[in-house]
Structure 1
């Protein structure tokens, strides 16, 4: 379970590093995908520390990883234009009827935001967005977690 905890924590750390090292800007859905990994890392650590609750905590950790994968799958759909994002941070602010430009500027976020339907690509020429990579990572990590649980590995 320690391996699962480390690999779960690695995902949001890598995402943050890609912002700093490669200049990739996250959108609101990108940020949402990170939280379940932190929960998975904490649950996997708890599973490693508490052998009696290992199976339940391990399964909860795997479900948390899959939750990030579900957000990633939704994000891929937004990127592909299959559906719009319901998150306000993913959309341009709209002025209220009769509102002034100043009202619209006050409604804007103070933090620069990237639209959720604009994919970020880590590897130029590879048509797999960061959201799609996260989906693949979540599926692989959850499968590894199941294998670790099944084998009863303490690692």
Structure 2
């Protein structure tokens, strides 16, 4: 196996491992993902598919798109990290707005339309590092593997 194909396999395998880890937290650990958690997965799904294609035909545009898929997950993860730390607001569909000045009916409507899982709460962390933080680091590592494979093209 060539070094380039090994890098592609590691990159696509890294994305697959991240997805399997996310599914493990979701289905085994019972931690429902928020909207931003789902968004972080999309780039890895793309990278996995492109990894299969690149193992067959390692064209530079395919490798570049694989890197962009993993990098997009890192960018969304960084955004999500900021939302979790309250550095900025997240999408209104996964954080709550102010209740100041709302009537009882408006408040009830806001409660009933509220998502089950909020993006601005940290459901799990280890040593102060959340899953979104870990995704940023892991996704950047996977993107660098794609770039290394691209440089071998």
TM-score by length of 2: 0.79
Match of 1:118 in 2: 121
- 1:89 is aligned to 2:94: yes
Report the alpha carbon displacement of residue 20 of structure 1 after superposing the two structures with TM: 2.8
Report the alpha carbon displacement of residue 70 of structure 1 after superposing the two structures with TM: 0.4
Change in CA separation of 1:11 and 1:101 when aligned onto 2, cut-off 3 Å: same
Deviation string, structure 1 residues 57-103 (Cα, Å, up to 9, x no partner): 01110011000000000011111111000241333697x76736764
Instruction: Output the CA distance in 2 between the equivalents of 1:62 and 1:101.
Output: 44
Of structures 1 and 2, the one scoring higher in RCO (CA 8 A, sep 6+) is 2
1:29 to 13, 36, 43: 36
1:72 to 69, 73, 77: 77
TM-score by length of 1: 0.78
Q: What is the CA RMSD across the aligned residues, in angstroms? A: 2.5
Report the alpha carbon displacement of residue 4 of structure 1 after superposing the two structures with TM: 1.8
**How many equivalent residue pairs?**
145
- The answer to whether the 8 Å contact 2:94/2:114 transfers is no
2:17 to 5, 10, 22: 10
Report the alpha carbon displacement of residue 25 of structure 1 after superposing the two structures with TM: 3.3
Secondary structure at 1:90's aligned position in 2?
coil
Match of 1:48 in 2: 55
Change in CA separation of 1:66 and 1:151 when aligned onto 2, cut-off 3 Å: same
